[in-house]
Amino acid sequence: MWMNQSKHKILKTKAFIFDLDGVIVDTAKYHFLAWQKIARALEINFTHEHNELLKGVSRVRSLEIILGLGNVEATDEQKEQWLVQKNEDYLEYINKMDDSEILTGVMNVLNFLKENNQPIVLGSASKNARPILEKVNILHYFDDIVDGNDVSNAKPDPEVFIVGAKKANQPNENAIVFEDSVAGIQAANIAGMISVGIGEPSVLNEAKYNFNNFTEITEEFLMELINQ
Ligand code: B16
Ligand code: MG
């Protein structure tokens, strides 16, 4: 049961940091289709299982992983062309997105945090985070965005979340991170933040808290996080 602000006793302010792909929207399926086109052209066998390896990983690193699957070597110039091609194809999928693609339960949590004046920050490896949030109509929920354009170290390096907490003017221990990737959970833990795994608990077993998806998160849980 989700109540409005007046029913709650909010004592503190925290920073709520959300990963994007796999937490707010499932863009992994579009990454897969765009990478698959490159892989097919190179005659590399690239499966859904392989795609799991790319979650939370940067675009450049993703290409390296795919080339590694096929033992393909290439010049930097050629790699750059594939990266551009992949992103153009990916953006075609992104351009067709709308708010129906927001993962179930996410809006309840965002609305609750907004109503209770909690800073909401995005912490994603994607360089396309802003256009994606715009397409699904929730850019205005975010007080700050830290994405692949702002940081140079990929998760599990905690840089993206540390910058996010700073932007929200909160110390690391006051930051709560929602993540679907193992590397992202590790990054939050390394930073001394509270990690919340969204997805398979056995995979995300390093997280402080685990939920299969946002419908399992209650306002009581959020209140506890805010007031502790
Ligand atoms: P882009 P996240 C990550 O998003 C994806 O999980 C990962 O598969 C992708 O390679 C990475 O963004 C970079 O994306 O090509 O759009 O810059 O989970 O960190 O929100
Ligand atoms: Mg993710």
Contact assessment for residue 193 and residue 177, using Cβ atoms and an 8 Å cutoff: yes
Please tell me whether 26 is known to bind a ligand: no
Which one-letter amino acid corresponds to residue 194?
A: I
**Residue 222 scores a pLDDT above 70:** yes
Cα-based distances in Å from 15 to 58, 60, 111, 115 = 24, 29, 15, 14
Active site residue 21: yes
Which residue of 124, 145, 157, 160 sits with most ligand 1 atoms within 8 Å of its CB, as the best mutation to test the pocket? 124
- Which domains, ranges and CATH numbers included, belong to the chain? 15-26+100-227 (3.40.50.1000), 28-95 (1.10.150.240)
The token pair that represents 159 in the structure block: 């840089």
State the closest ligand 1 atom to the C-alpha of 179, by its place in the atom list counted from 1.
18
**Residue 62 scores a pLDDT above 70:** yes
Contact assessment for residue 195 and residue 179, using Cβ atoms and an 8 Å cutoff: yes
What does the pLDDT look like over 129-158, one tens digit per residue?
999 999 999 999 999 999 999 999 999 999
Cα of 114 vs centre of ligand 1, distance in Å, is 25
3-class secondary structure, 178:
strand
State the closest ligand 1 atom to the C-alpha of 61, by its place in the atom list counted from 1.
10
Alpha-carbon dihedral sign for residues 89, 91, 95, 96: positive
Please tell me whether 56 is known to bind a ligand: yes
pLDDT at 4: 54
Indicate the pLDDT class of residue 9, thresholds 50, 70 and 90: confident
CA distance 49 to 111: 34
What does the pLDDT look like over 205-217, one tens digit per residue?
999 999 999 999 9
Residues with CB under 6 A from ligand 1: 19-22, 31, 54-59, 62, 87, 124-128, 148
3-class secondary structure, 69:
helix
Cα-based distances in Å from 129 to 40, 145, 176, 197 = 26, 8, 19, 20
Cα of 111 vs centre of ligand 1, distance in Å, is 25
What does the pLDDT look like over 83-118, one tens digit per residue?
999 999 999 999 999 999 999 999 999 999 999 999
**Of 169, 130, 170, whose CA–CA distance to 146 is shortest?**
130
Give the side-chain half-sphere CA count within 13 A for 103.
21
SS3 breakdown of the chain: % helix, strand, coil, rounded to 5? 45, 10, 40
Residue 42, exposed/middle/buried by CB under 10 A (0-12, 13-18, 19+)?
middle
What does the pLDDT look like over 170-204, one tens digit per residue?
999 999 999 999 999 999 999 999 999 999 999 99
Cα of 228 vs centre of ligand 1, distance in Å, is 32
Report DSSP state, residue 28.
Answer: H
**Of 7, 12, 49, 11, whose CA–CA distance to 32 is shortest?**
49
What's the mean pLDDT in 11-28?
Answer: 96
pTM of the model: 0.93
